Amino acid sequence: MFEMDLIDGSNFPDLATTVIHEFAHLLTLSDSQVTTDYPVFEKPDNQQIYDREAATCPNYFTLEGCSKADSYLNTFFNRFWPDIYAEWQAIDAETDQDLLDQKLSHFYQKYAGQFVSEYAATSPSEDIAETFMVFIFVPRSSGTTITDQKILFFYEYLELVALREQILSNLCTYAENR
């Protein structure tokens, strides 16, 4: 399901970036990318079920299920998260929302050069969605930072480059006709 507040529609740049970010979730968490884990889906707050199901997944496990080995998300995760994932998991286990927010902010500050935004540091799934959004809107970089490499990751997939061109073309046409 895709929902948004109509107030967001009054600011076209904000609307466009939000829609592209959410589209990235649809792209990276679809059935072709992730095998839905129904026990977790049915009881998302049950940590025992989550831990049991995650333990059976040989790839990156999201709240939606086990990412497929060659999925965008699993490939992105394997390339950019192995050195920081255990630290992030310890933070993500925090149950107090204020402390979680504080710890995630510190995590971002520690690894700021690895993320396109502070929100990207909240999870691998948000990282790929935020980075995809930047891939769509920012000209191709030739930089060598981890952030640059994350953006360049999407250029490895011809279908995503074509999708980028299509999205930009349609957005420009829409903006011109407003």
65 strand-pairing partners: 36
Q: What is the pLDDT of residue 127?
A: 98
Beta-carbon count within 10 A of 9 CB:
12
Share of the chain above pLDDT 70, in %: 90
pLDDT bracket for residue 5 (50, 70, 90) = low
Q: For the chain, which residues make up each domain, given as ranges?
A: 69-176
171-177, Cβ contacts within 8 angstroms, sequence gap of 24 or more: 171/16, 175/12
The pTM of this model reads 0.90
Q: Are strands 34-36 and 65-67 parallel, antiparallel or unpaired?
A: antiparallel
pLDDT at 2 over 80: no
- The answer, yes or no, to whether residue 49 has pLDDT greater than 60, is yes
Structure tokens at 128: 């790929």
- Distance in angstroms (rounded) separating the CA atoms of residues 30 and 51: 22
pLDDT digit string, tens, across residues 116-134: 999 999 999 999 999 999 9
Query: Any bridge partners for residue 35, and if so which?
Result: 66
Residues 6+ apart with CB under 8 A from 114: 80, 84, 121, 146, 147, 150
How many other β-carbons are positioned within 10 Å of the β-carbon of residue 150? Answer: 23
Q: Note whether 34 and 65 are within 8 A (CB).
A: yes
Looking at the predicted structure, is the pLDDT value of residue 6 above 70?
Answer: no
pLDDT digits (tens, 9 = 90+) for 73-130: 999 999 999 999 999 999 999 999 999 999 999 999 999 999 999 999 999 999 999 9
Phi, psi of 122 (to 5 degrees): -75, -20
